[in-house]
Structure 1
Amino acid sequence: DTTIVPAEIDAATSCDLDGMLLGDYPGPKAQLYYTGDARPHWCCDTVEMFNTLLRPEQARPIRAVFVQDMAKADWERPRGNWFDARTGFYVQGSKRHGSMGPTLASFQQEADARTFVEQYGGKMLRFAEVTPEMVDLSGGALHDKRM
């Protein structure tokens, strides 16, 4: 099996779900790689990534999923610092917002997630602790008629 190397965000990288240009928005981004498809499927937010992964109709096998380590990436213009999303620590309910509003801040190290909670509030979760109810997109930018 070939190891998947995360792609990088450039000026033209857009969200597969809503077309937003990833480079124009703050907060952690994600990229999914489906089995049989070499290109990344971009998510403009970790909430969107979890929403995609946790949908009951999501049946396509996923080879890899990457998020950004927000302890190392610039919150306003995150680039690089990708890691396996399944190994990460996430902070829900902090004061920091991503491209779609409230987000799940992503961290590779538990200590960094704890420091973020001390600074910005919220609750630390592991990947498997995130539920579909936590990542419901029905009230978000997807239904914002101004966009």
Structure 2
Amino acid sequence: MRYLLGKFLPTRGLLILLVSTGLLVGCTENNQAAMVQQVVAIESGEECHLCGMIITNFPGPKGQLFSKGIVGNLKFCSTRDMFAFIVDPENRHNIQQAFVHDMAVTPWDHPDETTYVDARKAWYVIGHSKQGAMGATLASFARQQDAQAFADAKGGEVLGFEQISLQALVNMTGVH
């Protein structure tokens, strides 16, 4: 019996080592991808990926996203521009990660670079009275109750990420 266990344990040990190493490498690759896909500060003079406007020249929440086939993050002067990019059928299925400002904790006129949240988990107020880059934009919030409080104070409707469509963007007031 000892002879059989002695032969089995080294093979089993090697198998466990190989599986563990594979899992560790897989986790490391996923962590590296996640670490690379993080928001970065928007520098003075940077242009919106969609419209080319200087991002820091305008108030309201901004957006950043990562898309398959595009190196680096794409930065947007407004959540409206970011969603115009996202809902485009050519881009929709390529979005890997998206981020927006949490306007419950950052000033509308100068959004803070440290207040980005996962856009897919955020809540949005559409049709409110505040202005973003060249007009109407979606006010973004990490928590639904903050979005509702904003809508109660400034007007508008609270929507989740999946509820934002091209038609919703077209129906927004203001021209961009």
TM-score, normalising length: structure 2: 0.73
**RMSD across aligned positions (CA):** 1.7
**Which one has the bigger helix percentage?**
2
- Equivalent residue for 2:124, pick from 66, 90, 109: 90
What residue is the counterpart of 1:72 in the other structure? 105
1:63 aligns with 2:103: no
Q: Aligned residues, how many?
A: 140
Residues 33-56 of structure 1: CA deviation (Å, up to 9, x unaligned):
112434111111111111111112
SS at structure 1 position matched to 2:137: strand
Cα deviation for residue 101 of structure 1 reads 0.6
Tell me which structure has the larger Cα radius of gyration. Answer: 2
SS at structure 2 position matched to 1:51: helix
SS at structure 2 position matched to 1:95: coil
Q: 1:24, 1:77 within 8 Å by CA — same for their partners in 2?
A: no
Alignment identity in percent?
34
CA distance in 1, matches of 2:122, 2:58: 22
CA distance in 2, matches of 1:59, 1:72: 29
Unpaired runs of 5+ residues, structure 2, are: 1-29
TM-score, normalising length: structure 1: 0.87
72-81 or 59-68: bigger deviation? 59-68
Cα deviation for residue 140 of structure 1 reads 2.6
Counterpart residue identity of residue 66, structure 2? Y
The structure whose RCO (Cα within 8 Å, separation 6+) is larger is: 1
1:134 aligns with 2:168: yes
CA distance in 1, matches of 2:169, 2:122: 16
Unpaired runs of 5+ residues, structure 1, are: 142-147
Q: 1:29, 1:43 within 8 Å by CA — same for their partners in 2?
A: yes
Cα deviation for residue 71 of structure 1 reads 0.7
What residue is the counterpart of 1:110 in the other structure? 144
Counterpart residue identity of residue 77, structure 1? H
What residue is the counterpart of 2:62 in the other structure? 29
CA distance in 2, matches of 1:66, 1:127: 11
Cα deviation for residue 104 of structure 1 reads 0.8
1:48 aligns with 2:88: no
Structure 1 residues 88 and 9: CA distance shift in structure 2, 3 A? same
Question: Which portions of structure 1, spanning 4 or more consecutive aligned residues, are displaced by more than 4 angstroms?
Answer: none
